[in-house]
Structure 1
Amino acid sequence: MRDPHELYQLETDTDPTELRASVLVVSLGGFIDAGHTQRLLTSHLLESLEHTVVASFDVDQLLDYRGRRPAMTFDKDRWSTYADPSLLLYRVTDADGDPFFLLTGPEPDYQWERVIEAIHQLIRLLGIKLTVSANGIPMAVPHTRPVGLTAHATDPRLIADHSAVFGTVQVPGSIDALLHLRLGESGEDAVGFAVHVPHYLAQAEYPDAALTGLEAIGGVSGLQLPTTGLAAMAGLNRQEIAREVASSSEVAEVVADLERQYDTFMEGRQHPSLLATDVSELPSADEIGAEFEQFLRENSRPDDGGESGPQD
């Protein structure tokens, strides 16, 4: 492996020993982030809290530009802007004035093991004791019930209050998941949260999921993270969803079916699991629309002149 230190450079003249903080929040995307959970959460942190860039990564070594081309703007007769991708480590100050680190940017396409070793170097250099992340996954759950999440950790004591909802499953890898695996192998503490997003909202922004992820990160890390902005956004989003559901008896029936399924599951009755046990059951971003349309057709009833809304 080439020297991982060559992948990043410090962007401050301050002695690293003066920058130390115990928590690192990682936001590097992955193969799925339903409800734009991670993006909303990360944007909220950077918009709400004071922060400075501590280190930057050389993305030219890590990204496949042709696989996901950065946006450029053509203005009449010239190219005017380029949305150059960046992978940055921020030092952020929480609401109580305590520092933590936030690593955010596009998930590297190449050199995963080298990137992880570079992150590990920064963890040791900056005195980080806990690494934590959160993202969204699509689930067959209704938006009218509490947002759930699946927790995982390198040490079970870190998530003692969370019950396991999955058995053994095999899914496509992500650099975030591999980072957690490698940190666990080296005896480091790391916690991750997969927030359950209604599958019919997976392509849309779902601030309730970001809010749940933010609260989970604060709970495990002890950081005081502001929630007001996200909570307000989530409230407006719930109102919009309610209007859309109320305008369609078919959608209302689908939601009612999911509510009954969810409630039955939570009551512990014998019922097909709400939880996908194979990644193939999780709809991709391109499949969500078609899947929901099919779901509507299968659950809608012919108009018989009577009530068309959900039945108790």
Structure 2
Amino acid sequence: MQDPSELYRFETDTDQSSARASVMLVSMGGFIDAGRTQRLLTEHLLAAHDHTVVASFDLDQLLDYRGRRPMMTFDRDRFTSYEDPSLLLYRLTDRDGHPFLLLTGAEPDYQWERMVEAVMELNKALGVDLTVSVHGIPMAVPHTRPLGITAHATDPRLITQHEPVFGTVQVPASWSALLELRLGESGHDALGYAVHVPHYLAQAEFADAALAGLGAVSGVTGLSLSMTDLAAAAGLNRAEIAREVEGSDEVKAVVEALERQYDTFMEGRERPSLLATGVSELPSADEIGAEFEAFLKDVVEDDKGKGENTGGIGSV
């Protein structure tokens, strides 16, 4: 392996002696992020909290530009701008002045293991002892009920309040997941939250998922994170979704069916006996996992052939 330290450089925005923080959030835009959960959360944190750049990464070594071409602007007879991709490590401060780090940008196409080693070097140099990630996954749930979260961690003690939803499931790897695995193998703490996003909103912006993820991060890290603007955006987003649902009998029927399924499931959890009505008809963890694997297979097949949907309720 080539020297991992040659993948990054410290920037002058932040004095390295003051860049230390115990928590690092990782937001790398990986394979799937239903509801644009990760992107919304990241944009909110950078808008709501003071921040400086600690380090930048050499993306020319990490990206397949032809696989996901950056955008350029052409104006009449010349090129006028280029959306230069970036991968940056920020230092932010919470509302009480406590520092934390945010690693965000394009997920590497190449050199995953070397990139993991580089981030582990930075963790050691900057005093990070907990690494956290958040993203959205599509689930057969209604947006009108409380959102579920699947937690995963290098040590079960970090997620004692969360009950598993899945059994054993094979999913396509992401760089963030590999980082979590390698951190665990080296004895470091890392955890992640996969927020359950209604499948019909997977390709749209669903701010409630980002808000739920932000609350989970605040709860596990103790950071005092601003939520006001994101909560307001979630309220507006919720109202727009309600209008779209009311305007489509097909979508409305899907939502109502999911509400019945959700309510039956919750009733079964409250009355866990053989007489609990409808529980036997609910999918098992293995069945849920199989459905999720099928969804991911479809995404893999369609990923390169579809343009990005900028909003609205997805296909049902």
Judged with a 3 Å threshold, the aligned counterparts in structure 2 of structure 1 residues 91 and 271 are, in CA distance, closer, same or farther, namely same
Provide the residue aligned with 2:294 in structure 1. Answer: 280
Q: Percent identity?
A: 67
Shift of 1:284: 2.8
RMSD of Structure 2 on Structure 1 (CA): 2.0
CA distance in structure 1 between the aligned counterparts of 2:314 and 2:281, rounded to whole angstroms: 21
Contact 1:85/1:106 (<8 A) preserved = yes
CA distance in structure 2 between the aligned counterparts of 1:274 and 1:47, rounded to whole angstroms: 41
Contact 2:132/2:192 (<8 A) preserved = yes
Provide the residue aligned with 2:281 in structure 1. Answer: 271
Provide the residue aligned with 1:179 in structure 2. Answer: 179
Pairing 1:49-198 to 2, within 5 Å after superposition: 49-198=49-198
Name the count of aligned residue pairs.
293
- 5+ unaligned residues in a row in structure 2: which ranges? 269-278
Render the CA deviation track for 1:44-86: whole Å, top value 9, x for unaligned: 0001110000000000000000000000000111100100000
Shift of 1:262: 1.1
CA distance in structure 2 between the aligned counterparts of 1:222 and 1:71, rounded to whole angstroms: 38
CA distance in structure 2 between the aligned counterparts of 1:190 and 1:280, rounded to whole angstroms: 28
Pairing 1:214-293 to 2, within 5 Å after superposition: 214-268=214-268, 269-273=279-283, 276-278=288-290, 279-282=293-296, 284=299, 286=302
Render the CA deviation track for 1:250-304: whole Å, top value 9, x for unaligned: 2211110010111112222122328630322345395999x965x5xxxxxxxxx
Which moves more between the two structures, 14-23 or 273-282? 273-282
Which amino acid is the alignment partner of residue 110 of structure 1? Answer: Y
Contact 2:14/2:53 (<8 A) preserved = no
Contact 1:265/1:273 (<8 A) preserved = no
Render the CA deviation track for 1:83-114: whole Å, top value 9, x for unaligned: 00000000001111110000000100000000
CA distance in structure 1 between the aligned counterparts of 2:123 and 2:314, rounded to whole angstroms: 43
Judged with a 3 Å threshold, the aligned counterparts in structure 2 of structure 1 residues 15 and 226 are, in CA distance, closer, same or farther, namely closer
Judged with a 3 Å threshold, the aligned counterparts in structure 2 of structure 1 residues 40 and 271 are, in CA distance, closer, same or farther, namely same
Render the CA deviation track for 1:207-228: whole Å, top value 9, x for unaligned: 0000001111111111111111
- 5+ unaligned residues in a row in structure 1: which ranges? 296-312
Provide the residue aligned with 1:305 in structure 2. Answer: none
CA distance in structure 1 between the aligned counterparts of 2:14 and 2:72, rounded to whole angstroms: 35
Which moves more between the two structures, 31-40 or 237-246? 237-246
Contact 2:201/2:314 (<8 A) preserved = no
Counterpart secondary structure, 2:20: coil
Counterpart secondary structure, 2:196: strand
Counterpart secondary structure, 1:263: helix
Which moves more between the two structures, 62-71 or 13-22? 13-22
- Give the TM-score of the pair, scaled to structure 2: 0.89
CA distance in structure 1 between the aligned counterparts of 2:245 and 2:263, rounded to whole angstroms: 19
Provide the residue aligned with 1:28 in structure 2. Answer: 28
Which amino acid is the alignment partner of residue 280 of structure 2? Answer: Q
- Give the TM-score of the pair, scaled to structure 1: 0.90
